[in-house]
Structure 1
Amino acid sequence: MKIIKDLNAISSTIPLSLSIGMFDGVHKGHQSIIKKLNLMAEQKNLESAVFTFWPHPRTVFNPNDDLKLLNTIDEKTYLLEKNGVQNLFLKEFDEDFRNLTGEEFVKQILVEKLNVKHLIIGYDHTFGKNKSGDFQLLQKMAPEFGFEVEQVEAVDFHDKHISSTQIRNALSVGNVKEAAEMLGYVYSVSGEVVHGKKIGRTIGYPTANIAVNPIKLLPKKGAYIVDVYVKNNHLKGMLSIGTNPTVNGNSLSTEVYILDFNEEIYGEEISVNFREFLHDEIKFESMEKLIERLDEDKKITEIYPF
């Protein structure tokens, strides 16, 4: 997949089948768009492309909005490529860009820069200043500027349209299985293993402390069954998101105890997939009670089917 960040450097004559949007999560709704995108590209002898932006527009319009995303930019890029997208246009969402009207975006970006011949958008997509661009505007402008446009219907899950917001809501209550069903893959986080307080090793449960990208959404505080990828190993693990209240912790951490593993992995990149929510974060009355619960969680994790 070709990744283009500087639109000013584009002088491509390659005609495109393109879609626009944040594509946060690259979930089943997005996947239905990409499937159509790739099909049209093949049928019409075009190249498939996605036009997306960074950072998220919400954080530009409201800098105090502590929005967490389902994907880092690297994760989103990987998922788009995995789904067969040939070109990714990654535009900084700056002042100039946010002030383009819908019509200006179509003329200056889609037509003059990107040579779009077939445009596919989601069922509720709007673009341009004050959301002045929508499907009706595209239908009106398409004949004049020589491109076709179509709108893809929503994909539903439990009678609701799948959306990035719905998935964030599921994760915020620990429902990682429902999130996975809407995503079409198991939700994960990754990061470098960093030094923590090393309390776990004193009670027989040494944990790897993961430095997760601060833009990445963490599921609800609590304990989870996860599978772990580290140093070319695929292993079972018990992951905790929380502040370690039993030992009066006050900073949020993401720590994983990896079953049947005792290698030194500080500085290594580690990735965990959320399989099952075990329980909420608990403040135990003693370390003995904490160990008892860890023993119970371990038994459940050991027999969990992966």
Structure 2
Amino acid sequence: MELIRGIHNIKAWHRGCVLSIGNFDGVHLGHQAVLRGLVERARRLNVPACVMVFEPQPQELFARGEAPPRLTRLREKYARLAELGIDRLLCVRFTPEFAAQSPDEFIRGLLVDRLGVRFLVVGDDFRFGRNRGGDFNLLTQAGHVFDFEVVSTQSWRMENRRVSSTLIRRALAEDRLNDAARMLGRPFSLCGRVAHGAKLGRTIGFPTANVALKRRVIPVAGVYAVELKRGERRYPGVANIGHKPTVNGTKALLEVHLFDFAGDLYGEQVEVELCHKLRNEQKFASFALLKEQIQRDAASARQWFGLAVSEPNGM
């Protein structure tokens, strides 16, 4: 799948496509239904299937600290969209200047002149342009003028199931991992690159893979039984997601201790699936008490996976 970073990188040969616009946060089952319909129409029209997303997401610009936590970062979203057969991902930088353009500029300048849209899928509540003056009805009217069809995402609703990114966030916040997985079509996971940490875990027999999350807000927090995906293999383990209050941590971090694993993960991009929540993150009065709790957490996670409880070993 081709990634087009910014409107300035749209070339003449990119004209002519079917397009859907949205956040597609989580690329959940509802999104998947919409995108399969988009790909099907693209194949019928013999043009590329294109998805437009914004970075940052509009709420992150306007609401700033009040914006909801993301389910997926752009890198993860790219991988999910590629799996669905999308041909191009256009990532538009969402700035105050871009938000202030008129609805007509957005339609004529971007959708018609640059992209040559033949078929457009957006939500009924999609708003765009200065003061959010553009809406679904305006796009439909423009479609009659510029000869492109506009369809609501409701055309591909999941039957008998209401699915939304908001509902998935709520399920995660309420520790309903199974409900979130059903709406996503897969277990909820976090991705990132393994980096060097303070290596405090090694001093107590629990070395960890430290994954920098690079998110403003994390949709989950606490201690979980997890599986780390590395290529085609999966490794069970226990993970802490949060800010490490016992050692006065400030940045959000995912720390994973893998059971019965020997190897080097430094520098690797990994995906960690959350399987079962063990407890909330908490601050302990001493490092010794933290060590005792980590031992209990590891034993609980091993039991959840059906593994023999053993003494901690190296990773």
What amino acid is aligned across from residue 299 of structure 1 in structure 2? Answer: Q
Greater fraction helix: 2
What amino acid is aligned across from residue 297 of structure 1 in structure 2? Answer: A
Q: Which of 298, 301, 306 does residue 305 from structure 2 map onto?
A: 301
Q: How does 1:29-40 map to 2 (within 5 A)?
A: 29-40=30-41
Instruction: Give the secondary-structure state (helix, strand or coil) at the position aligned to 1:84.
Output: coil
Q: Conserved in 1, the CA contact under 8 Å of 2:6 and 2:93?
A: no
Q: Conserved in 2, the CA contact under 8 Å of 1:223 and 1:277?
A: yes
CA RMSD of aligned residues (A): 2.8
Instruction: Give the secondary-structure state (helix, strand or coil) at the position aligned to 2:23.
Output: coil
CA separation of 1:46/1:248 partners in 2, compared to 1, >3 Å: closer, same or farther?
closer
The TM-score, its normalising length taken from structure 2, stands at: 0.84
Deviation digits for residues 151-207 of structure 1, max 9, x if unmatched?
121746986x42222222222233222222212222221223333343433443322
Paired with 2:84 and 2:53, the residues of 1 have a C-alpha distance of 15
The equivalent of 2:281 in structure 1 is 281
Paired with 1:13 and 1:190, the residues of 2 have a C-alpha distance of 30
Q: Conserved in 2, the CA contact under 8 Å of 1:24 and 1:164?
A: yes
The equivalent of 2:295 in structure 1 is 291
CA separation of 1:11/1:167 partners in 2, compared to 1, >3 Å: closer, same or farther?
same
Q: What is the percentage of aligned positions where both structures have the same residue?
A: 33
Q: Conserved in 1, the CA contact under 8 Å of 2:76 and 2:191?
A: no
The runs of 5 or more residues in structure 1 that have no matched partner are none
Q: Once superposed, which parts of structure 1, at least 4 consecutive aligned residues long, lie more than 6 Å away? A: none
The TM-score, its normalising length taken from structure 1, stands at: 0.86
What amino acid is aligned across from residue 109 of structure 1 in structure 2? Answer: L
Paired with 1:49 and 1:243, the residues of 2 have a C-alpha distance of 38
CA separation of 1:203/1:43 partners in 2, compared to 1, >3 Å: closer, same or farther?
same
The equivalent of 2:187 in structure 1 is 186
Q: Conserved in 2, the CA contact under 8 Å of 1:225 and 1:237?
A: yes
Q: How does 1:12-91 map to 2 (within 5 A)?
A: 12=13, 14-65=15-66, 67-91=68-92
CA separation of 1:223/1:155 partners in 2, compared to 1, >3 Å: closer, same or farther?
farther
Instruction: Give the secondary-structure state (helix, strand or coil) at the position aligned to 2:114.
Output: coil
Q: How does 1:1-306 map to 2 (within 5 A)?
A: 1-8=1-8, 9-12=10-13, 14-65=15-66, 67-153=68-154, 155=157, 161-215=162-216, 218-230=218-230, 233-244=233-244, 247=246, 249-251=248-250, 252-282=252-282, 286=289, 287-288=291-292, 290-303=294-307
CA separation of 1:139/1:115 partners in 2, compared to 1, >3 Å: closer, same or farther?
same
What amino acid is aligned across from residue 206 of structure 1 in structure 2? Answer: P
What amino acid is aligned across from residue 29 of structure 1 in structure 2? Answer: G
Q: Number of paired residues?
A: 301
